[in-house]
């Protein structure tokens, strides 16, 4: 018998809310966090819009000597993880063995702002002017390390990097880590702060981003005929995963259960999915099998739903292949229609949306779905939230390189 794993804490910092409840209320109300880029001068770029975290001041959370040692992506991680840790009351319980608490993060790019700044400094002032904090600020594992250092968590600690599937792979790996008995608690999710000239410019060069600059809040439009690319976003989201008996013994509040995980690769192309989404189909079916369920047991899917021409069509086909006729009975939505694409952190926010959906019986809308693509003919919950009893949710994530990860989250019983 596999150990059961439950969610006992959540934390979020997103373009539509600086905590879990603000983010959730914005999702339910169809509020977009997308606007013109303010972090740098984007006037020369085709895409001048992004979903930026609002009203975030590092000095509200960190001492000045800390700020200069932390890339923005790590700052986001620490703030969101702190909310999750406090929510789970981990630091209030003296019985918790911190040697058995791990941190597994998901990051798609990491400290690219630091990389950008230090490259400029190196070329303009010489390499001897590079900051001694450059490497430990930039590397992708350092957010996990800082969460552990700040809280004294000495269990398994590392980062998973699989582009836009990173947070789902991190959560799935956290699930396995607890099931195998290597930890009793793992703080897991994702973080990203890649709204920079270099990162946005790179995605523009790939022609991956929406250029609907005159209508920022209407730019992310998953499954819509007029979609023209995804919208860059930033933020962090973490969940506390805990072995069930351990959670019960300490009287923890249980939000939901993480029941299954599946991961595959397309082995097809560095950026494009297969036409039929076959790799994603296998990941979803693997997660359902891992949970000991059948496809018809799933009530709701939080789709990857990027608003790119290839993804949305392929993902729709993959859902049909995995679920057959049941695909047309599923409630589906895309959080990215409001949050934008948080890259390595995306699946963290989407896992939280799954938990809140199970808790509240509210399925948030997919906004901007004005002219549905005829090839995307499932129920994506357009425009307005709907009420529905959801016992089993599936969170779907796909990443450049053909990485696919699916997570099953169910009502705890």
pLDDT at site 106 = 98
CA 208/CA 202 separation, integer angstroms: 9
Q: What percent of the chain has pLDDT over 90?
A: 98
Query: Facing residues of 194 across strands?
Result: none
Identify the burial level of 323 via C-beta atoms within 10 angstroms of its C-beta, where 0-12 means exposed, 13-18 middle and 19 or more buried. buried
Q: What are the tens digits of pLDDT across the range 35-78?
A: 999 999 999 999 999 999 999 999 999 999 999 999 999 999 99
The full set of domains in the chain, from first to last, is: 1-402 (3.40.47.10)
The mean per-residue pLDDT over the stretch 17-42 comes to 98
Catalytic residues: 164, 304, 341
pLDDT at site 303 = 98
Q: What backbone torsions phi and psi does residue 198 show, to the nearest 5 degrees?
A: -70, -45
Q: Provide DSSP, 152-164.
A: T--S-EEEE-BTB
Q: Do the Cβ atoms of 210 and 228 come closer than 8 Å?
A: yes
Q: What are the tens digits of pLDDT across the range 326-350?
A: 999 999 999 999 999 999 999 999 9
pLDDT at site 4 = 98
Enter the tokens of residue 295: 């496809």
pLDDT exceeds cutoff 90 at 290:
yes
Three-state secondary structure call for residue 36: strand
What's the full length of the chain, in residues?
413
Confidence of residue 94 (pLDDT cuts 50, 70, 90): confident
Confidence of residue 252 (pLDDT cuts 50, 70, 90): very high
Per the confidence metrics, is the pTM higher than 0.85? yes
pLDDT at site 140 = 96
Three-state secondary structure call for residue 101: strand
CA 144/CA 211 separation, integer angstroms: 34
Q: Which of 168, 157, 161, 165 is nearest to 140 (CA)?
A: 161
pLDDT at site 95 = 86
Question: What average pLDDT does the chain have?
Answer: 97
Q: What are the tens digits of pLDDT across the range 189-236?
A: 999 999 999 999 999 999 999 999 999 999 999 999 999 999 999 999
Query: Facing residues of 11 across strands?
Result: 238
pLDDT at site 397 = 97
């Amino acid at each position: 018998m596999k150990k059961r794993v439950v969610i006992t804490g959540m934390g979020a910092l997103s373009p539509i809310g600086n905590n879990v409840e603000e983010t959730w209320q914005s999702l339910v109300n169809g509020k977009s966090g997308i606007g013109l880029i303010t972090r740098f001068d984007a006037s020369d770029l085709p895409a001048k819009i992004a979903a930026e975290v609002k009203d975030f001041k590092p000095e509200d959370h960190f001492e000045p000597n800390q700020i200069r040692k932390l890339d923005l992506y790590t700052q986001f991680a620490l703030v969101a993880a702190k909310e999750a840790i406090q929510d789970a009351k981990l630091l209030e319980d003296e019985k918790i063995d911190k040697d058995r608490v791990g941190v597994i993060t998901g990051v798609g790019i990491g400290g690219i702002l630091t990389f950008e700044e230090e490259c400029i400094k190196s070329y303009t002032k010489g390499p001897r002017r590079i900051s001694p904090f450059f490497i430990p600020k930039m590397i992708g594992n350092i957010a996990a390390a800082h969460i552990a250092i700040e809280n004294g968590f000495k269990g398994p600690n590392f980062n998973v990097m699989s582009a836009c599937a990173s947070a789902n792979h991190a959560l799935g790996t956290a699930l396995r880590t607890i099931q195998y008995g290597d930890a009793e608690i793992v703080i897991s999710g994702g973080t990203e702060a890649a709204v920079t000239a270099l990162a946005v410019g790179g995605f523009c060069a790939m022609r991956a981003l929406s250029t609907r600059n005159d209508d920022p809040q209407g730019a992310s439009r998953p499954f819509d005929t007029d979609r023209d690319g995804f919208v860059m976003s930033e933020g962090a989201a973490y969940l506390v995963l805990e072995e069930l008996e351990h959670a019960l013994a300490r009287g923890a509040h249980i939000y939901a259960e993480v029941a299954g995980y599946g991961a595959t690769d397309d082995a097809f192309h560095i950026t494009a999915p297969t036409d039929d989404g076959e790799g994603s189909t296998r990941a979803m079916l693997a997660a359902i099998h891992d949970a000991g369920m059948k496809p018809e047991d799933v009530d709701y899917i939080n789709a990857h739903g990027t608003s790119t021409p290839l993804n949305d069509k392929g993902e729709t086909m993959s859902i049909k292949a995995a679920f057959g006729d049941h695909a047309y009975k599923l409630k589906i939505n895309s959080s990215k229609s409001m949050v934008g694409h948080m890259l390595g952190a995306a699946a963290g926010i989407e896992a939280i949306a799954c938990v809140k959906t199970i808790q509240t019986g509210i399925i948030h809308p997919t906004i901007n779905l004005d002219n549905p693509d005829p090839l995307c003919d499932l129920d994506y919950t357009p425009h307005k939230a709907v009420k529905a009893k959801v016992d089993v949710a599936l969170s779907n994530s796909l990443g450049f390189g053909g990485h696919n990860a699916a997570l099953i989250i169910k009502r705890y019983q």
